[in-house]
Structure 1
Amino acid sequence: MTTTYAALLRGINVGGAKKVPMAELRTLMEGLGYGDVRTYLQSGNAVFSSAAGDEESLAEELSAAVAGHFGFEVGVLVRDHAYLRAVREACPFPAAELEGRQLHVTYFSHPVDAERFASVESADFLPEEFRLGDRVLYLYAPDGLGRSKLAEALGKPRLVKDVLATSRNWNTVVKLEELTGA
């Protein structure tokens, strides 16, 4: 059975660092035997199908291939359509009423518990808010991620140690769910 996945590459094509041309990424992924490879934007989003492997093994395989081809390490998360749909449906914020730049999802490599973020005083950052979900953190930042003090606090190394984390704005979250369902 073939499954459609989204690959989320962390920290590529940001500020001129870790350049990964999307055409090259598609070719690399096709060379790994993945089918229906498509990329979305330049920020490390790819959709593909595979009959072999699971999310973790596919992420490891793609990460190793990127390192071998481009010469630098890149964290990769792979998630299937059912998971992406569940993340979209479980959003605790009124996504339909917000601009895509106001709502973000940080995907984690494994579950994190609320204890990890207990030191973040939510009231200090209002109207910004966050909620945890299944291997995700939802962030409402009305002025956008670039101006978010809460995002800065949540990204402190001690809070995200031992976990691969990569964020996407809501528009990308929706688009990846749609692309993996097509």
Structure 2
Amino acid sequence: MSTRYAALLRGIAPSNPNMTNDKLRGVFEGLGFDSVASVLASGNIVFSARKAGVPALQRRIQRALNGALGIPGGTIVREHAELRALLDRDPFPGLTHGRGTYLTATFLKDGAQAPDRLPEQSDPRARVVGFDESARVFLAVIDNSDPGSIPDFMSWLEKTYGADITTRAWLTVQRIVKKLES
């Protein structure tokens, strides 16, 4: 029986000829995965595969991406059911994605240590609103209404939690789930 997955690839630059959606999909198809599709041009690949341990699946995909395309970045995989449940929990109640409320989800790699408490961020324009333990994801609201002064939230997260993370806009997470369900 097949399971639907989303691979969230870190460090994808669509302008790099080795990081185009068609090449990324080709690597996944070469691994024998079915129903491979991309979501946007920023390293989001959905696919079907036999049920497998996520850490082993992440390593297998990352080795293939590095070997075939020279992509050294991280690969974070989530099952469709995990992402669907995250959306159903409505972690941003009453908030809508916009300039002053840019909703983000920062996924930790499987095996990464969950925080004992929510991290404090020194910039009041970036606020962690929760950590969803089942999906292993930080949920944050960023005020980017002043383009000349956007908080450097991603660098702060990486300094605090290391490079085994990747961030997506909440709208992108919603699009990934929709693609997994189509």
Under TM normalisation by the shorter chain, which class is it?
0.7 to 0.9
The amino acid of 1:99's aligned partner reads G
Which of 117, 120, 136 is the aligned partner of 2:119?
A: 117
Gaps of 5+ in 1: none
Give the structure 2 partner of residue 129 of structure 1. 127
Give the structure 2 partner of residue 168 of structure 1. 168
Whether 1:143 aligns to 2:144 is yes
Give the structure 2 partner of residue 24 of structure 1. 23
Shift of residue 148, structure 1, vs aligned partner: 3.8
Instruction: Describe the superposition over 1:134-174 as per-residue Cα deviations: whole angstroms up to 9, x where unpaired.
Output: 211111113269754261563252x113x610000011110
Shift of residue 103, structure 1, vs aligned partner: 0.4
Give the structure 1 partner of residue 179 of structure 2. 179
1:66–1:72 CA contact under 8 A, matched in 2 = yes
1:2–1:49 CA contact under 8 A, matched in 2 = yes
1:145–1:151 CA contact under 8 A, matched in 2 = no
Larger deviation: 50-59 or 131-140?
50-59
Instruction: Describe the superposition over 1:53-100 as per-residue Cα deviations: whole angstroms up to 9, x where unpaired.
Output: 222211111100000011231200110111111222334323663339
Gaps of 5+ in 2: none
1:117–1:154 CA contact under 8 A, matched in 2 = no
Cα 1:112–1:154 change in 2 (3 A) is: farther
1:5–1:81 CA contact under 8 A, matched in 2 = yes
How far apart are the structure 2 equivalents of 1:35 and 1:70? 20
2:97–2:170 CA contact under 8 A, matched in 1 = no
Whether 1:42 aligns to 2:41 is yes
Which is helix-richer, 1 or 2? 1
How far apart are the structure 2 equivalents of 1:69 and 1:156? 27
Partner-residue secondary structure (3-state), 2:13: coil
Q: Normalising by structure 1, report the TM-score.
A: 0.82
The amino acid of 2:178's aligned partner reads E
Cα 1:166–1:18 change in 2 (3 A) is: farther
CA RMSD of aligned residues (A): 2.7
Q: Normalising by structure 2, report the TM-score.
A: 0.82
Give the structure 2 partner of residue 64 of structure 1. 63
Partner-residue secondary structure (3-state), 1:3: strand
Give the structure 2 partner of residue 106 of structure 1. 106
Whether 1:4 aligns to 2:22 is no
Percent sequence identity is: 28
